Amino acid sequence: MFFNCFHTSGYPENHLLFKSFTGLSVQAFDNIYNKEISKKNTKYEIKRLSKGKERKRDMGAGRPFKLDLKDRFLMLLVYYRLYITYTLAGFLFDLDQSNICSRDIQNIESLIRQCLPIPQKIYNITKRLRTPDEVKKYFPGFIAFIDSTEQQIPSTIQE
C-alpha cells in the first residue's frame, strides 16, 4: 500500500507528510488508534452486524475487508483531510473505488466520529432544481440558452 512508507518509516520528512495528509502526527494517530478505536471496534462491529432481520449467514461470514482497521482509519482521515475522490483513494490504498465509499468509509465513519471530530456530510440540505421557476427563485436574473437543434436519429430497422 502506498501509505505504509509514511507510517513505518522513521524519516522526519515522512512524519511531516503524514501530518499534512491526515491532520495528526504519527504518535497521535497511534495513540488514538490503540486507546480508542481498536478497543471500541469489537463492540461496534457486533452492533453493526446484528442490525436487521434474521441472518442467513453467521456474523463475519461475509467477504473480509481488504484493509485492516488501522489502514481504513488512515484512509478515512486522508479522505476527510484532503477531500480526495474515491478514484484517487482507491489508487492510494489499492482498492476499487466502489469499495471506498460503501465498504470502507461508511462502515467505520460513525465509529471514528465517536473518537474524533470529523465533518458531517450535508447531503440532505442539497436540492436538485427541477423547474425553471425553482431556478428563478434561487438565481434571480439567470438567463440560459438552450441549443435545441433537431438532429436526425438513424433508424436501426431496415426497410
Angle between helices 69-82 and 106-115 (to 10 degrees): 80
Residue 104 confidence (pLDDT): 67
For residue 115, the surrounding DSSP H or E stretch is helix 106-115
pLDDT at position 94, please?
A: 85
Q: Output the nine-digit C-alpha cell for 108.
A: 467505520
Gyration radius (Cα) of the chain, Å? 23
Query: If pLDDT is split at 50, 70 and 90, which confidence band does 2 have?
Result: low
Instruction: Please tell me the predicted confidence (pLDDT) of residue 120.
Output: 67
Give the model's confidence band at 53: pLDDT under 50 very low, under 70 low, under 90 confident, else very high.
low
More confident residue, 55 or 81: 81
For the full predicted model, state whether its pTM sits above 0.95.
no
Note the pLDDT of residue 52: 65
Q: What is the mean pLDDT of residues 69-92?
A: 86
